[in-house]
Structure 1
Amino acid sequence: MTNPQTAHAAASDSASQKEAPNPSLSVTVGIKDLLGLLSVLGIAAGLIANKILIERYNWRIDAAVYREGALALVNGESLYAQPFDMGDISLPFIYPPIGAILFAPWGYFDFITVELAGNLVVIGSSLLLLLCLYLVTNAVLSGRDKLLAFTIAAISWPIALFAEPVFLNADLGQINILIMALVVMDLLPIKRRIPRGVLIGLAAAIKITPLAMLLYFLVKKDFRGIINAVISLLAFTAIGAVLAWENTKEFFSSTLLNLSAEGDSGVDTTFQSNSSIQAMLYRWWTSKADAEASSLPTILWIVLSLIAVAAVAYLMHQLFSRGLHVEAVMVNAMLMLLISPISWSHHWVWLPLWAVVFFVRYRQHRSHPKFLLWSGVILSVMLLMLPPKWWFGRDGVNVFELNFWEKLLISDWTWLSIGLMITLGLGLKAFPKIAK
């Protein structure tokens, strides 16, 4: 027979156990509350940063070109017959017709002024940057902690908005973050609804350079991804052809073939903002005329580009074998920018993402490799300070008259990206290969 006192004591103990808070649960809830608070603060700071970016200008030159292209398309005019008058300068529409089709609503609605168009580009690009930061961080964390990934993205967001490439991208009203977002959404989501390769195909239909990202699929031997990308590219190009046949014919028969020429790109491609292998090589000559008169710069560019492709492909293979898929995407993006003839400073919007990858991977790794920390620190400092390319002035700088060290410094993103990839390659010993 059970002792009543014993039964009462047991019942009391059971009740107290049910009522007593779980210490580990309290800690978890506390951390979640903290992460939630930090996320809110990060988003608030990001909104303030957006307000600052929007109020800097009421006229953004590239957004104005997009709007003029949309108007020309809607009115049945040629996108490429002549550059659009932008006041002090005339600039061409250098995207395929599908690019103008994306902006077509701007041509239909009169209330979308140049100022509003520029603001829409800034806001849209900013939100896409936040999305990219989240997808990159979540991929590094292997999708194990979505709240932590969002918190890191939210905190990084206002800082990334003031990184030089992103800041300049906003000032001009450029769509480089849209192109980057299409690639990131294609390669890095943990769960996907769209077949891999489709969004890269769309990005390449808008701007040719994302085709370089097919190296990711090639190194992984993901031939389905390549096929999807090619089909997507052809499909979106076909849509452009159906809706704007004459413009499509003109673009692929003439405009595309002359994009590297100063008259067709709108700006001298040796201008200090161009951080590509080709621009870096051209600047070593005494003048642009001398460089163009010689076949050596072009030969060197082709040779160095092929070497870069081979080296990056090998590095990506090593990264894949260690499960470092995000880093593989980053180095592929750096290759894309390096081998492209034109990679203006505002094209390098990938760099803030890479800085976040370095920091998150550093904290995630059990031994906290110092090379990851310092890579992130150096990259962040370079992004948030005035880059060396602007130390010698912004307008009227004759890059051919600069001395050796100045010519070296002016190609800042070129050398920095190469240095970071070399550092990453040398630091691979910190990451053991994954057994097959």
Structure 2
Amino acid sequence: MTSTFLGANPDEAGHPPRRRPDPTTPTPTRPRRRPRRQAYAKAGLVLLPLLVAAAALAVHHSTGSFWGDLATYHAGASAAASGDGGLYQASHLGTDGISLGFTYPPFAALLFQPLVPVGMTVAVGVWTFASVLALLAVVWVTLRAAGVPPERRALATLAGGAVTLPMFAVSGHLQAGQVGLFLMLLVLLDVTGDPRRRWSGLGVGIAAGIKLTPLVFVVYLLATGRFRAAGTAVAAFAGTVALGFAWRPEDSVRFWTGALFDTSRVTADPRTILNQSLAGALARLTDSADPRTGWLPVAALVAVLGMAVAVYCARAGEHLLGVLACATTGVLVSPVSWHHHWVWCVPALVLLAVRSWRGRSRLGLAATGLTWLVFVAGTSWVLAGLHGWDLHFQGWGLLYSNLYVLVGLAGLGYLPIHLRRAGRSGPARPVSGLPGDLRQHDVPLPPGAEPPERESEPEKKP
């Protein structure tokens, strides 16, 4: 059977010949979903902080509770605004009957001055909104350091922020109105930035001027050979101290000569389940309110080994892992590390999830989910405190009350093993985390992407 086609002859198979497209005829295009998806994701990055801030305002208005740390910042800033000498006498009495005093350097009280003219309701809303933005920025910076392409970061940042909100280190941080997310963002932007920047180390110094715990990153910079950045950090920290003395000299003298070492202003009993440091773990294990005798040698050993792991990661090209190992070491060896100090679990989990997804590692994805569950399970620690059994533990209670400490120690112990296995399995392909060190062939490619072509070397003539 034959067919007749007007204006053309069929080919041997009876099919019409292929017509060349008319260049004047517009070709239909498929709808571009990716730009639309990116637009929705970017809108979500603004909507999520607004929703969380609105929820915080509703809770604060209806209960009048929580945000005790933010109220303490407000009280301290107000006392400092009224004159010199009253900063460390100011306190906030919470609805639970616990009095909280200002424990940061005078420089922090200077930065908190915008809180003075506004009431707590406005402060809760603005502070919560800014804190969630800082959380999203931390996820974004981590994804950038992990080599995630820019066109995928918005949606991944939104997903990462939403997933990490239920973790008690984050939700408890928002509930208390803490400052840790801002400090973590400052440090991450600084330490994972280009080391050739003139002001590298400035963020670490300013963060340490607000709260002393980021000083551990000065040790990391020195140990990894970034001496100029370490010097900049020390100079910036000294500048914050000098500024505090110039603004409130009497308060500065009191802080640096006495209030700094008064641990009773931080916690009445280190055994509380919310104190997730080595000192708190030892206090719960021994059921002693004064674990300093056993804590000092253990803390010194973990400090040395933890910093060695951080340096080992950096020398292997894994700078972001080195930063996370340093942060974990600092949280562990600090005499008091509240649950919200463990917000460093956010970049750690984001990096673990990215690596596991790219490597198609079921074990890595399972570890990511299990670690997430551990940090979510800490939410019920609030119930422990409300029922008054957050000081004495036995049996499985000892394991449950030290979850964060155990996860931190396990992470530090596993990193060297992971890096050695990666070194044995083939040439290292590090995700640097330092843009100045990134090389195109070192960054793991997203699924489906092809590696760029390399220029072939000229053949050597005999």
**Normalised by the size of structure 2, how large is the TM-score?**
0.79
Q: Distance in 2 between matches of 1:46 and 1:114?
A: 18
Q: Which residue of 1 aligns with 2:114?
A: 105
Q: Which residue of 2 aligns with 1:311?
A: 305
Please identify, of 326-335 and 91-100, the stretch whose mean Cα deviation from structure 2 is larger. 326-335
Match of residue 118, structure 1, among 96, 104, 124: 124
Q: More helix by proportion, 1 or 2?
A: 1
Residue 421 in structure 1 maps to residue 412 in structure 2: yes
- Matched AA of 2:400: L
Q: Distance in 1 between matches of 2:52 and 2:78?
A: 31
**Deviation (angstroms), 1:369:** 3.5
Q: Percent of pairs identical after alignment?
A: 23
Any idea what SS the aligned residue of 1:397 has? coil
- Flag the 1:223–1:386 CA change in 2: closer, same or farther, 3 A: closer
**Normalised by the size of structure 1, how large is the TM-score?**
0.83
Q: Distance in 1 between matches of 2:92 and 2:48?
A: 37
Residue 185 in structure 1 maps to residue 179 in structure 2: no
| Unaligned 5+ runs, structure 1 | 1-11
- Flag the 1:37–1:197 CA change in 2: closer, same or farther, 3 A: same
Report 1:360-379 matches (<5 A).
Answer: 360-365=354-359, 368-379=360-371
- Deviation track 1:185-207 (CA, whole Å, cap 9, x = no partner) reads 21124699672211110111111
Q: Distance in 2 between matches of 1:194 and 1:348?
A: 30
Match of residue 399, structure 1, among 382, 391, 402: 391
Q: Which residue of 2 aligns with 1:282?
A: 283
| Unaligned 5+ runs, structure 2 | 1-18, 431-436, 438-462
Report 1:59-74 matches (<5 A).
Answer: 59=64, 60-74=67-81
Q: Which residue of 2 aligns with 1:4?
A: none
- Deviation track 1:361-405 (CA, whole Å, cap 9, x = no partner) reads 22234xx344432221112222334457457453422523x2133
Report 1:46-195 matches (<5 A).
Answer: 46-58=49-61, 59=64, 60-86=67-93, 88-107=97-116, 109=117, 112-141=118-147, 145-189=149-193, 195=199
Question: Of the two, which has the highest radius of gyration?
Answer: 2
Q: Is the 8 A contact 1:43 1:154 kept in 2?
A: no
- Deviation track 1:206-239 (CA, whole Å, cap 9, x = no partner) reads 1111111223312321111110110000011111
- Matched AA of 1:120: V
Residue 34 in structure 1 maps to residue 17 in structure 2: no
Q: Is the 8 A contact 1:118 1:173 kept in 2?
A: yes
- Deviation track 1:304-352 (CA, whole Å, cap 9, x = no partner) reads 2222223223322332233322222112111111111111111111112
Q: Which residue of 2 aligns with 1:271?
A: 272
- Matched AA of 2:411: L
**Deviation (angstroms), 1:65:** 1.1
- Flag the 1:84–1:313 CA change in 2: closer, same or farther, 3 A: closer
Q: Which residue of 1 aligns with 2:236?
A: 232
**Deviation (angstroms), 1:38:** 4.2
Q: Which residue of 2 aligns with 1:8?
A: none
Q: How many residues align?
A: 403
Match of residue 433, structure 1, among 422, 428, 431: 428
Q: Distance in 2 between matches of 1:313 and 1:398?
A: 31
Q: Distance in 2 between matches of 1:225 and 1:193?
A: 9
- Flag the 1:65–1:181 CA change in 2: closer, same or farther, 3 A: same
Any idea what SS the aligned residue of 1:91 has? strand
**Deviation (angstroms), 1:410:** 0.4
Q: Is the 8 A contact 2:169 2:375 kept in 1?
A: yes
- Flag the 1:54–1:193 CA change in 2: closer, same or farther, 3 A: farther
Q: Distance in 1 between matches of 2:260 and 2:36?
A: 53
RMSD value over aligned CA atoms?
Answer: 2.8
Residue 347 in structure 1 maps to residue 353 in structure 2: no
